[in-house]
Amino acid sequence: MILKMISFELYKIFKKWRTYIGFLALSIFIPILIYGVSEGGNHYQRILDRNMGDQFLIVGNLVNGWYVAFITIQAMIIHIPFFITLVAGDLFAGEGSAGTYRMLITRPIRRETIVVAKYIAGFIYALVFIVFFGLISTFPAIYFLGTGDLIVPLEKIIVIPSNEIYWRFLLAYFSSFISMCLVVSLAALFSSLVNNAIGPIVGTMAVIVIFLILGELPFELFEKISPYLFTKYMTVWIDSFDYPVDFSRILKSYAVLIGHGILFFAITLLNFRKKDILI
Amino acid sequence: MEIVLETKSLTKKFKNITAVDNLDLVVYKGEVFGFLGPNGAGKSTTIRMLTSLIYPDQGEIYLFNKKLTANSKSILRKVGAIVESPDFYLYLTAFKNLEFLSQLYGINPTRKQIMEILDFVGLSNRWNSKVKTFSHGMKQRLGIAQALLHDPDLIILDEPTTGLDPQGMKEIRELVISLSKEKGKTVFISSHLLYEVELIANRMIIINRGKKVVEGYVKELLNEEKATYNFRLSNIERAKNILISLNFELNHDFEVNGNEMLISTKRISASQLNKIFVENGIEVFEFYRKRTLEEYFLEITRGQK
Amino acid sequence: MKKFALVLFAFICFAFAQDKNANRIIEKIKANYDIINDYSVEIKGKVDFPDAVIPELKAKIFFKKPDKFKVESDNFMIIPRQSIKFYPDILNEKDYSSLILGEVEIDNLKHFIIKLISNNPEVEEVVTIWVNSENFTIRKMNLIGSRIGKVEIEFFYKFFDGKYWLPEKMTATFEASKILFPRMRRFDKNQKENSGQVQEGKILIQYYNYQVNRGLEDKIFEKKK
pLDDT in tens, C8-46: 555 554 544 455 577 888 888 888 888 888 888 999 988
Tell me the chain A residues in contact with residue C53 when contact means C-beta distances shorter than 8 Å.
Answer: 156-159, 243
Concatenate the DSSP letters of all residues of chain B into one string.
--EEEEEEEEEEEETTEEEEEEEEEEEETT-EEEEE--TTSSHHHHHHHHTTSS--SEEEEEETTEEHHHHHHHHHTTEEEE-SS----TTSBHHHHHHHHHHTTT----HHHHHHHHHHTT-GGGTTSBGGG--HHHHHHHHHHHHHTT--SEEEEESTTTT--HHHHHHHHHHHHHHHHTT--EEEEEES-HHHHHHH-SEEEEEETTEEEEEEEHHHHHHHSPEEEEEEES-HHHHHHHHHHTTPPBTTTEEEETTEEEEEESSS-HHHHHHHHHHTT--EEEEEE---HHHHHHHHHHT--
A59 vs C79: CB contact, 8 Å cut-off?
yes
* Mean pLDDT of all residues in B275-280: 90
- Cβ neighbours around C137 below 10 Å, total: 22
The letter for the amino acid at C101 is L
The pLDDT value recorded for residue B301 is 60
- Distance of alpha carbon A127 from alpha carbon A84, whole angstroms: 10
User: Which of A67-81, B60-74, C70-84, C165-179 ranks highest by mean pLDDT?
Assistant: B60-74
The pLDDT value recorded for residue C97 is 81
Q: Is the pLDDT of residue A67 over 80?
A: yes
**Domains in chain C: boundaries:** 2-179+198-211
- Distance of alpha carbon B250 from alpha carbon B240, whole angstroms: 8
Calculated CA dihedral for residues B26, B28, B32, B37, nearest 10 degrees? 0
Residues 41-60 on C with a CB inside 8 Å of A are 49, 51-55, 57, 59
- Cβ neighbours around B210 below 10 Å, total: 23
* Mean pLDDT of all residues in B75-104: 88
Could you read off the pLDDT of A234-270 as tens digits, one per residue?
888 888 988 888 999 999 999 999 999 999 999 999 9
The CATH number of the domain covering residues in B3-223: 3.40.50.300
Could you read off the pLDDT of A210-232 as tens digits, one per residue?
988 888 777 777 777 878 888 88
Contacts 24+ apart (CB under 8 A), A270-274: A271/A192, A271/A193, A272/A92, A272/A111, A272/A114, A272/A115, A272/A192, A273/A111, A273/A112, A274/B55
The pLDDT value recorded for residue A214 is 85
C76 vs A157: CB contact, 8 Å cut-off?
no
Using the CB atoms, write b or e for B148-184: b if 16+ within 10 Å: bbbebbbbbbbbbbbebeeebbebbbebbeebbeeee
- Distance of alpha carbon A85 from alpha carbon A198, whole angstroms: 10
Could you give the ipTM of this predicted complex? 0.72
| Chain-centre distance for alpha carbon B167 | 17
> Is A3 an 8 Å CB contact of chain B?
no
- Kindly report the nearest CA distance between residue A102 and chain C, in angstroms: 42
The CATH number of the domain covering residues in B225-302: 3.30.70.100
Compute the 3-state secondary structure of chain A and give helix, strand, coil in percent, each to the nearest 5: 75, 5, 20
Residue of A nearest to B132 (CA): A98
- Distance of alpha carbon B83 from alpha carbon A98, whole angstroms: 13
Of residues B280 and B183, more confidently modeled: B280
* Mean pLDDT of all residues in A24-45: 78
Rg of chain B, C-alpha, whole Å: 24
Q: Is the pLDDT of residue C190 over 70?
A: no
Could you give the 3-state DSSP secondary structure of residue A65? helix
Tell me the chain A residues in contact with residue B53 when contact means C-beta distances shorter than 8 Å.
Answer: 101-102, 105-106, 276-278
The pLDDT value recorded for residue C178 is 66
Q: How confident is the model at residue A202 (pLDDT cuts 50, 70, 90)?
A: very high
- Kindly report the nearest CA distance between residue A222 and chain B, in angstroms: 40
Phi-psi region of C181 (alpha: psi -120 to 50; beta: other; left: phi over 0): beta
- Kindly report the nearest CA distance between residue B287 and chain A, in angstroms: 47
B84 vs A102: CB contact, 8 Å cut-off?
yes
* Mean pLDDT of all residues in B52-68: 91
> Is B224 an 8 Å CB contact of chain A?
no
Q: Are C221 and C62 in contact (CB under 8 A)?
A: yes
A100 vs B87: CB contact, 8 Å cut-off?
yes
Round the average pLDDT of chain B to a whole number and report it: 85
The pLDDT value recorded for residue C16 is 47
Q: Which of A2, A12, A102 to mutate to test the interface with B (most CBs of B within 10 A)?
A: A102
Residue of B nearest to A277 (CA): B53
**Domains in chain B: boundaries:** 3-223, 225-302
Cα atoms found within 13 Å of the Cα of residue C141, Cβ hemisphere only: 27
> Is A272 an 8 Å CB contact of chain B?
no
Question: At the top level of CATH, which class does the domain C2-179+198-211 belong to?
Answer: mainly beta
Residue of A nearest to C51 (CA): A156
B83 vs A106: CB contact, 8 Å cut-off?
yes
* Mean pLDDT of all residues in A55-64: 77
Task: Please tell me which of the candidates A51, A154, A159 has its beta carbon nearest to residue C184.
Answer: A154
Q: Are B207 and B41 in contact (CB under 8 A)?
A: yes
Q: How many residues does chain B have?
A: 305
B100 vs A98: CB contact, 8 Å cut-off?
no
> Is A158 an 8 Å CB contact of chain B?
no
- Distance of alpha carbon C13 from alpha carbon C10, whole angstroms: 5
| Phi, psi at A276, each rounded to 5° | -85, 125
Of residues A24 and B225, more confidently modeled: A24
Please classify residue C135 by burial: count the beta carbons closer than 10 Å to its beta carbon, then call 0-12 exposed, 13-18 middle and 19+ buried.
middle
Could you read off the pLDDT of B93-149 as tens digits, one per residue?
999 999 988 888 888 888 998 998 898 888 889 999 999 999 888 888 898 888 888
For the ranges A256-260, B212-216, B237-241, the lowest mean pLDDT is seen at B212-216
Task: Please tell me which of the candidates C54, C181, C188 has its beta carbon nearest to residue A215.
Answer: C188
Q: Is the pLDDT of residue C182 over 80?
A: no
Tell me the chain C residues in contact with residue A151 when contact means C-beta distances shorter than 8 Å.
Answer: 76
Residues 125-154 on B with a CB inside 8 Å of A are 146
The pLDDT value recorded for residue A31 is 87
| Phi, psi at B81, each rounded to 5° | -145, 150
The pLDDT value recorded for residue B304 is 42
Please classify residue A231 by burial: count the beta carbons closer than 10 Å to its beta carbon, then call 0-12 exposed, 13-18 middle and 19+ buried.
buried
The pLDDT value recorded for residue A86 is 93
* Mean pLDDT of all residues in A112-132: 95
Residue of C nearest to A219 (CA): C190
Percent of chain C scored above 70 by pLDDT? Answer: 80
CA distances, A174 to each of A72, A171, A180, A205 (Å):
15, 5, 10, 21
Strands (E) across chain A are located at 56-59, 150-153, 157-160
Chains that touch C (3 or more CB pairs under 8 A): A
Q: Are B297 and B36 in contact (CB under 8 A)?
A: yes
The letter for the amino acid at C212 is V
* Mean pLDDT of all residues in B67-90: 86
Q: Are B191 and B294 in contact (CB under 8 A)?
A: no
Q: For chains A and C, what is the number of CB pairs under 8 angstroms?
A: 126
The pLDDT value recorded for residue C189 is 52
**Domains in chain A: boundaries:** 2-274
- Cβ neighbours around B270 below 10 Å, total: 17
Residues 10-49 on B with a CB inside 8 Å of A are 48
Round the average pLDDT of chain C to a whole number and report it: 78
Please classify residue A166 by burial: count the beta carbons closer than 10 Å to its beta carbon, then call 0-12 exposed, 13-18 middle and 19+ buried.
exposed
Q: For chains A and B, what is the number of CB pairs under 8 angstroms?
A: 75
- Kindly report the nearest CA distance between residue C105 and chain A, in angstroms: 27
The pLDDT value recorded for residue C225 is 45
Of residues A248 and C197, more confidently modeled: A248
- Distance of alpha carbon B250 from alpha carbon B264, whole angstroms: 11
Q: Is the pLDDT of residue B23 over 60?
A: yes
Q: Which of A6, A7, A19, A107 to mutate to test the interface with B (most CBs of B within 10 A)?
A: A107
Q: How confident is the model at residue A121 (pLDDT cuts 50, 70, 90)?
A: very high
Cα atoms found within 13 Å of the Cα of residue A107, Cβ hemisphere only: 24
- Distance of alpha carbon C193 from alpha carbon C198, whole angstroms: 14
Q: Is the pLDDT of residue B69 over 70?
A: yes
* Chain B meets chain A (3+ C-beta pairs below 8 A): yes
- Kindly report the nearest CA distance between residue C70 and chain A, in angstroms: 10
The pLDDT value recorded for residue B305 is 45
